[in-house]
Amino acid sequence: MSFFETLADRIESTDSVVSVGLDPDPSRLPDAVADADLPRWAFNRRIIDATHEHAACYKPNAAFYEDADGWRALEETIAYAHGKDVPVLLDAKRADIGNTTRRYAEALDRADAITVNPYLGRDSLQPFLDREEKGVFVLCRTSNPGGNDLQDLELASGEPLYERVAALADVWNGNGNVGLVVGATAPEELAEVREIVPEIPFLVPGVGAQGGDAEAAVEHGLADRPDTAVDVGLVNSSRGIIFAGEESSSPGDEATYFGAAGDAAKRLKKRLNRYR
């Protein structure tokens, strides 16, 4: 099965489009995992146990794993998520040229999908695109304020750069495995991109701690694809779920801390489902 077929099955079985971002910032990990052999893996395992019933996907960000113990923690995390029948999207924003990008694409040997940067053009993404069964999410209109610096630049054609990226992604989607990253903090642009690519699923970050528009994320982020029984797309929250325990009444209690993550994922699922 392709990634988007697998994702559609997961969305249908959990009644959820929630992507849980697994970004285990070492400076914020609770005491309950501090003495573990691999604290980031110990943290992620508990988060997965607490949230998997509400998660359509897990999205670990590679930046939180780029050391020897981190890569071990990431491998364990991906395997554990797969054991819960949850697909994994590696947020790596990779791309390069020649042999380098082919090596980057080997990250898909473990994960089910990956985020990529289109700035170097199609040849930098081809090794990812060639993996027909894997998902490839192309950065398009990101949720950070600085995204305006380049993504809003007007081309000679009169279109902003992010719209050209969306149109190119449609051209690159020969294997039906391309998605786009479009942030919920720019709901008007989210709607515009959806008009350009009606059948491409979006990964929509920014709904959690960044305060993005949940209604727009669902209305425009999910794609009606001819090969799936449900609309497909993902709305991501990272810190708002995995560190929800910091705001609990007893943050030092392990069950309370991780239970708060499960509650946060459930609340987000219900909130998003109001608009599906």
**Active-site annotation, residues:** 93
Instruction: With beta carbons less than 8 A apart as the criterion, state whether 11 and 57 touch.
Output: no
Q: Using CA atoms, how far apart are residues 232 and 191, in angstroms rounded to an integer?
A: 16
Instruction: With beta carbons less than 8 A apart as the criterion, state whether 273 and 16 touch.
Output: yes
Q: Using CA atoms, how far apart are residues 65 and 68, in angstroms rounded to an integer?
A: 8
